Amino acid sequence: MIFHPDIYERPAAEIARISDGLLSETVDRAIACSPYYGEALAAIGPVRSRSGLSALPTTPKEALQARPDDFLAVPAREIVELVSTTGTTGEPVFVPMTRNDVERLSETERRGFSWLGAAPGMRFHLAATMDNLFVAGLAYHEGLRKIGAAAIRVGVQPAQRHLDLMRALRPDGIVAVPSMMAALARLAREAGIDLRAIAPARALLIGDAIRGADLTSNALGRIIEAAWGSELFSTYGLTEAGTAFHECAAHRGLHIHPDILLAEVVDESGAPLPPGEAGELVITTLQVEAMPLIRYRTGDITFVVPGDCPCGRGGMRIGPILGRKAHRLKVKGTTVYPKTIEDALVAIDGIENFVLVAECEADGTDRLLVRVGTRRSADAAFRNAIGETLLAKARVTPEIVFESPASVDASLYEGGRRKPRTFIDRR
């Protein structure tokens, strides 16, 4: 494996040359070593540049779920880690990794941490779990080790434990999911704790978008910024790709690491879309040994950010994840992603938590129910305020029912889930 940590500083033609060389290697090796690609790409000649990429068939997640062993491109004795996706849509995918694949993962996170200012001597509060086959916890731990900064492996703990440890150890940074940061802010406010006095200077946020389509902070991002005062850095990781995308200090989209991964945003037919247009994110892994993926359909909707990043780094950037393709709703003629509705709900005072439930109407359209957890009296004024916000921000008027926060929580974490499930699809 050859990493190019300075790849972003090189001229565009040089970045393309490096990516193209690694792509060519990836395709040749996948055809030779992975039974799935040996079959799927048998009739297709070598691919020598990214312009030839769109001629290749896309790889659906279903293929990976149905024939995982056929994607393995190394002997079993070379596998040192097995990680898995959460299985938000369908069966979880188990991803094998070699020692070099773990090294590739570490290098990506080293870059992400260095962009947010991590340095030797610093300490980071890691609120991402290391266990349950979760790749991100491992990635952050490895990334910090490469930086030379200290990892405080807190994992998933009660809110009070997080606050106690932050007060005792004063970390320079935190890695967490945005909803946890918002929940900690609420608890600190209720308990009269001055969060800003113990808040780390920077936070790396994974799992949910903290930016809107215009790349500025969305409601969730603004809530966290106001309560913590930390500089927020968004990141988007993909278990199957064994890597992540990172925001730089300019906060203008998520940079791709061009010697680690290639990305495209495509329409239904798999044809690449122009910058700014939303479609499905498709990735091709570079320098992966155990399970290389070529034109893998992630099921996530985003767009290529047009223009150059003010930070000066070259290579492609993507916007925030706007939603899951499988979760796209058609409510009374309006197409909407649950994420848009969730972003709007987060900003409404008095809503503690929520779950969206989609069902199929007799006429084939989608019926959407919003279960709102609140301690407020559920009067008509509150209901109207929610209705108006959803109409303004998401252009939908779903049914709203009020419940206790505990009853909503029970649905969010039903079956001991690792991440709260805010969208229940019964269609």
Q: How far apart are CA 385 and CA 425, in angstroms?
A: 25
Cβ pair 151, 145 in contact under 8 A:
yes
Total of chain residues touching Zn ion, rule CB under 5 A: 5
Residue 117 touches Zn ion, criterion: CB under 5 A:
no
Which x/- pattern, by CB under 5 A, does the window 272-311 give for Zn ion? -------------------------------------x-x
Q: How far is the CB of 286 from Zn ion (least distance, A)?
A: 20
Of the candidates 56, 79, 74, which has an alpha carbon nearest to the alpha carbon of residue 296?
A: 56
Nearer to Zn ion, 110 or 125 (CB): 110
Candidates 43-51, 63-71, 245-253, 352-360 — which segment interacts with Zn ion by CB under 5 A? Answer: 245-253
Nearer to Zn ion, 212 or 323 (CB): 212
Residue 318 touches Zn ion, criterion: CB under 5 A:
no
Which x/- pattern, by CB under 5 A, does the window 158-177 give for Zn ion? --------------------
Terminal CA-to-CA distance of the chain, rounded, Å? 45
Candidates 116-124, 216-224, 242-250, 322-330 — which segment interacts with Zn ion by CB under 5 A? Answer: 242-250
Candidates 41-49, 66-74, 198-206, 250-258 — which segment interacts with Zn ion by CB under 5 A? Answer: 250-258
* Residue 36 identity (one-letter amino acid): Y
Nearer to Zn ion, 250 or 424 (CB): 250
What b/e sequence results for 86-102 when a residue is b if at least 16 CB atoms lie within 10 Å of its CB, and e otherwise? Answer: beeeeeebbbbbbebbb
Tokens of 347: 């900003």
Tell me which of 1, 159, 187, 250 binds Zn ion, using CB under 5 A: 250
DSSP strand pairing (261-266 vs 279-285): antiparallel
Candidates 47-55, 125-133, 241-249, 404-412 — which segment interacts with Zn ion by CB under 5 A? Answer: 241-249
List of residues 6+ apart from 47 with CB closer than 8 A: 23, 24, 27, 53, 55, 56
Q: How far is the CB of 242 from Zn ion (least distance, A)?
A: 22
Q: What DSSP element (H or E) covers 384? A: helix 380-394
Q: What phi and psi, each to the nearest 5 degrees, are found at residue 92?
A: -65, 150
Nearer to Zn ion, 219 or 254 (CB): 254
Q: How far is the CB of 158 from Zn ion (least distance, A)?
A: 36
Give the DSSP letter string of 84-97: E---SSSSPPEEEE
Residue 248 touches Zn ion, criterion: CB under 5 A:
yes
Q: What phi and psi, each to the nearest 5 degrees, are found at residue 148?
A: 95, 15
Residues that bind Zn ion (CB under 5 A): 248, 250, 309, 311, 313
